[in-house]
Amino acid sequence: MDEYDFGILIIYGTETGNSEDYAFQLFDQLKHLTNVLISEADSLSDFNIISSAKYLVFVVSTSGQGTEPRNFKKFWKFLLNTSIPNTWLQRTSCAVLALGDSIYQRYNYCGKRLYRRLLQFGCKMLTPLCLANEEDPNGSDTQALPWIETIVMKMKNFFPDVLRPKLVEIYTVHIKFYDIIEASYFGSLTPVTTLACSILDNKRITDADHFQQINLIDVENRRNVQWVAGSVLRVFPKNELSLVSKLESLLEIDCHKKFNIKFSNGHPIEFVTLHDLFVDHLDINAVPKRRFFQRLSQISAHSVEKERLDELSSSHNLEDYYSYCCRSRRNHFEVLRDFPNTSLQLTLIDVANLIPRMKPRDYSICSSFESANSPISIIVSLVKYRTVIKEPRYGTCSRYLCNLLPGDQLSCEIIHTDLKFPDPQTSSILVATGTGCASIHAFLQSLPCDTPRSKHLVFLGFRFEKNLNRNQEKDYLFREDWERFNKKNIEIFTAFSRDQSNKIYVQHRLIEQGKIVWKYIQNGCYIIVTGGSKRMPDDVYDAFRSIVCENGHMSVDEASRFMQKLERIGRYQTETY
């Protein structure tokens, strides 16, 4: 088959895996109709391939405060190329599913921009833009599932009574014992750019009796890779060996038998075991998507378990799925344990197709690059919570990192992000909450000792300043460093939200210093906001807008346009998680 011989092209951009899951749900229902190609956007070997598709479907999420997902950035940059003619997609019919959360100011911003850009290329839309909202009663499923049904119905009309051809799949795994077997839903494993670095130090920096454990981890910079303030350490985590052992005990598979695995992108891995995949690559601690239950139902030969799997995978029974799986945060192992007869049927290739890949996590580097031997430092907040299930829930990566010991090896790589700090001689207003202070700490640490006074205003928000009973730090991260920076001609203002009955946040400190903040803005300062991505970014943005209104003598609309201009020219940046 010719490289571009396909009827439907599905492209997705995802940060957490939700867009990928919906894209593959659609793929599963269309693959019997015609040749269907599915790919994450930045993995396409040739972006011009999309003009060869008769039907083009996008599933894309909005990351953070309106940015495109990491595996959509190159593709989006390509689409912004002004040399592409307006008639480029005039023979193509398109559809866009946008995933987002309406609590954010730039709700579904990436999907909306993509939809408008596709129209500019002359394409015909199969459906109106679908805006799936995580805040809906059944989450994104509320809008996404009916949209998928609509697309499938339309495609069945376009491709009636077509025999299933040989499929073209971007993610193909060849697992070889004596024969070659193919498995979809697999991408490349750890990138070739990954570093294998030693842990130099790993210590808890919050008080032992504080409910939130936060660790400061120093990592060896083995290849002397340089970074700047705003860079992140991308970590490739491993699953807990105890969880892996429990999962292996459910299966009638030799998990230590070696085989060769080869990907369609040409990166073969030899002598790997299923145990290796469980430890390093498969996200067994994640909450299964409905697609997991659909596939498991297709495999199951046990009538009672199959009936229950059908119930959990039905789009008409979402409340049951949410109650059983999402609210309780059951992971893949716990679900397979609840269906023991079906689990015993699974083959190695079934497992590779059922459990999604484990995604890397990014942590802002909190140290500055001063020399070739500078360690890479990150701060990690342990994710731990409880549900109706007895055992506490843990975040895979944070737990893995917090348990590492000096001398242990960590697979990671340094990534330069879109967050750009100004030249040290340019004034700035820096706002951070919690572990979001990492990038700002790295920036201030890199400043020369002769930094002029009043060049940088820093607003920091934490829960507690200290443990009042023992006079020790609770979650006031880097306290000694902030005090040292303050003596270095950097003005620092702190807000501790739980040290008093009336909560004080960073936006309150900003308002208190409104006159000096406005002076900085008038003098061309850069504003950088980092921290949690729920209410904080909007609250801080509103505080700046209020300051512009009051001190700049502007109306709310004028102040909003003023703030939008600062964003457009890069003088107002946010980095949230």
Tell me: the pLDDT tens digits for 464-505? Answer: 765 544 334 577 899 999 988 887 778 999 998 876 667 889
Q: What is the pTM of this model?
A: 0.85
Looking at per-residue confidence, does 258 or 510 come out higher? 510
Token pair 């679900």: residue: 335
Of the candidates 358, 542, 296, 529, which has an alpha carbon nearest to the alpha carbon of residue 434?
Answer: 529
Confidence of residue 200 (pLDDT cuts 50, 70, 90): very high
For residue 265, name the pLDDT band (cuts at 50, 70, 90). Answer: very low
9 neighbors 49 (Cβ within 8 angstroms)? yes
pLDDT tens, residue by residue, 58-108: 999 987 667 889 899 999 999 999 999 999 999 999 999 999 988 777 889
Nearest to 167 by CA among 151, 183, 145: 183
Cβ-based neighbours of 77, under 8 Å, separated by 6 or more: none
In Å, how far are 394, 395, 433 from 381, measured between CA atoms?
A: 11, 10, 13
Of 157-171, 239-253, 400-414, 524-538, which range is least confident? 157-171
Nearest CA among 64, 123, 69, 61 for reference residue 95: 123
Name the helix (H) or strand (E) containing 304. helix 303-313
CA-to-CA separations, 200 to 376, 402, 447, 519, in angstroms, rounded: 9, 13, 25, 43
The answer to whether residue 177 scores a pLDDT higher than 70 is no
Burial class (CB in 10 A: 0-12, 13-18, 19+), 466: middle
pLDDT of residue 186: 41
CB 419 within 8 Å of CB 439: yes
Share of the chain above pLDDT 70, in %: 88
Rounded mean pLDDT, 308-336: 93
Report how far residue 27's alpha carbon sits from residue 506's, in angstroms, rounded to the nearest whole number: 46
3-state helix, strand, coil in the chain (%, to 5): 35, 20, 45
- Which among 340, 351, 44 is positioned nearest to 168, based on CA atoms? 44
- Pick the closest to residue 289 from 69, 141, 68 (CA basis): 141
CB 6 within 8 A of CB 36: yes
Q: Using the CB atoms, write b or e for 434-446: b if 16+ within 10 Å.
A: bbbbbbbbbbbbe
- Average pLDDT of the segment spanning 372-387: 91
Domains detected in the chain: 8-158 (3.40.50.360), 195-237+360-416 (2.40.30.10), 241-354 (1.20.990.10), 428-576 (3.40.50.80)
CA 433 to mean position of chain CA atoms: 19
Q: In angstroms, rounded to a whole number, what is the distance separating the alpha carbons of residues 186 and 268?
A: 13
